[in-house]
Amino acid sequence: MFPEPGTPGPPAPDTPPDSSRIHYRAVPPWALATIVLVSGFVVFSCCFCLLRKRCGRRTGKKSQAQAQVHLQEVKELGLSYIDKVQPEVEELEPAPSGPGQQGTEKPELGRLQYSLDYDFQSGQLLVGILQAEGLAALDLGGSSDPYVRVYLLPDKLRWHETKVHRQTLNPHFRENFAFKVPYVELGGRVLVMAVYDFDRFSRNDTIGEVRVPMSSVDLGRPVLAWRELQVASREEQEKLGDICFSLRYVPTAGKLTVIVLEAKNLKKMDLGGLSDPYVKVHLLQGGKKMRKKKTTIKKNTLNPYYNEAFSFEVPWDQVQKVQVELTVLDYDKLGKNEAIGRVAVGAAAGGAGLRHWADMLANPRRPIALWHSLRPPDRDRDRARPPAP
């Protein structure tokens, strides 16, 4: 069976295919655009990652350098504060006087005018605080904010206070107070009129005092007198207790940490001779309370142990403008919580408060612990409500 002549047979195996029979499929334009965009995105991502990594290294080095600058500035600030710390009045010991040594001159503290009378019908001693003049200036501006506290020894728990008179060394009080005490017991009492300089951010400093033994006063008629202020007796200062806490400041993070550690020998506030103390920690700026923290309540103790930490955000450029105030209060479930005493630390504080702050700044990132003696609280400020359960 052979094909007829003139009929083409099957192609040889080695014969290449006819090119006219091959069909090429055209690539659409959108596919080409997609390929170009994807390739460009990959190249851009690689370049961006390399650039970002390089810039990150530079930024990291720059931020580390700035952090070191801030750290050094805070250290220098703390050292400058340390140079400015002055001892508090009660820390000063009188200079010994002996042969060949001249005694120190008596400080000029000012004088106080007062009046005394006794009402035999009501059994009351009437004390009038009239005015003062030439008071010592305890504020940096060369003035004082004086007020007078009046009490009868040996009972210091019952006392009266005049209003605070701002920025004056010659205040006119004109206020009267009454103490109910039998006339037969009056001879064994001592009237104390202590003049203080009010300080909103720190403790109130004593300018001076006048002591009048009632046994030396003839109350058969009203008494009107001027007396020179004397240096307040250190022994008569009421012992409120001590508190230990640490301060730690990290300038790179702008973080201030206060750790309330413990307190000891607190004043007895309850009838049973104990207290239920807790501590309030306030962050103040410009006299305004910005943040508030408080510890747990320790029942029936005068020597509580807390070891509780509280943190505040304080940028390093604001560290000179803030102050930390710690107030120890006695918790009362039924009535008001009474303040036992308080402590203030900061650039505007004095004595131990400024010293502690300066040590903290001079040693950034390290906790600095120190014991502080509690100061008498301001009654109007520190009367507190019961803490939330």
Strand-pair category, 111-119 with 155-161: unpaired
What pLDDT does residue 16 have?
A: 54
Burial of 49 (0-12, 13-18, 19+ CB in 10 A): exposed
If pLDDT is split at 50, 70 and 90, which confidence band does 197 have? confident
The per-residue DSSP string of 189-203 comes to -EEEEEEEE--SSSP
Domain boundaries for CATH 2.60.40.150 within the chain? 111-228, 242-382
Structure confidence at residue 228 (pLDDT): 93
d(CA 146, CA 137): 10
The DSSP code sequence of 84-121 is H----GGGPPPPP--TT-PPPPPP---EEEEEEEEETT
Residue 120 and residue 180: Cα distance in Å, rounded? Answer: 10
- pLDDT at position 387: 38
State the number of CA atoms in the 13 A half-sphere of 316 facing the CB.
23
Tokens of 45: 């991502």
Tokens coding 206: 């004593």
Task: For 333-364, write each residue's pLDDT tens digit.
Answer: 777 888 999 999 988 777 788 889 988 988 88
* pLDDT value at residue 362: 87
Cα 125 → chain centroid: 41
The full DSSP string for 301-349 is -SS-EEEEEEEEE--GGGTTTEEEEEEEEE--SSSPBEEEEEEEEETT-
**pLDDT-based confidence at 206, cuts 50/70/90?**
confident
Give the amino acid at 126: L
Q: Which residue has the higher pLDDT, 66 or 307?
A: 307
CA of residue 278 relative to chain centroid, distance: 16
- The residue ranking higher by pLDDT, 366 or 103, is 366
pLDDT value of position 62: 46
- CATH fold of the domain at 242-382: Immunoglobulin-like (2.60.40)
* pLDDT score at 102: 47
**Rounded mean pLDDT, 301-309:** 94
* End-to-end Cα separation, the chain, in angstroms: 114
Answer yes or no: are the C-beta atoms of 253 and 306 closer than 8 Å. no
- Among 179-183, 203-207, 383-387, whose mean pLDDT is lowest? 383-387
Residue among 236, 90, 218, 216 at smallest CA distance from 155: 236
**What is the per-residue pLDDT for 289?**
86
Residue 260 belongs to what H/E stretch? strand 255-264
pLDDT value of residue 76: 62
Rounded to whole angstroms, the Cα distance separating 322 from 345 reads 9
At residue 229, the pLDDT reads: 92
When mean pLDDT is compared over 4-13, 27-36, 38-47, 191-200, the highest value belongs to 191-200
Per-residue pLDDT at 184 = 86
pLDDT in tens, 310-339: 999 999 888 888 999 999 999 987 778 889
In this predicted structure, the answer to whether residue 96 has a pLDDT above a threshold of 50 is no
For residue 89, pLDDT over 70 is answered with no
Tokens of 78: 């703390």
pTM over 0.75: no
**Rounded Cα gap, residues 334 and 247, in angstroms:** 34
CATH number for 111-228: choose from 3.30.70.100, 2.60.40.150, 1.20.1740.10, 3.50.50.60.
2.60.40.150
- Statement: residue 183 has pLDDT above 50: yes
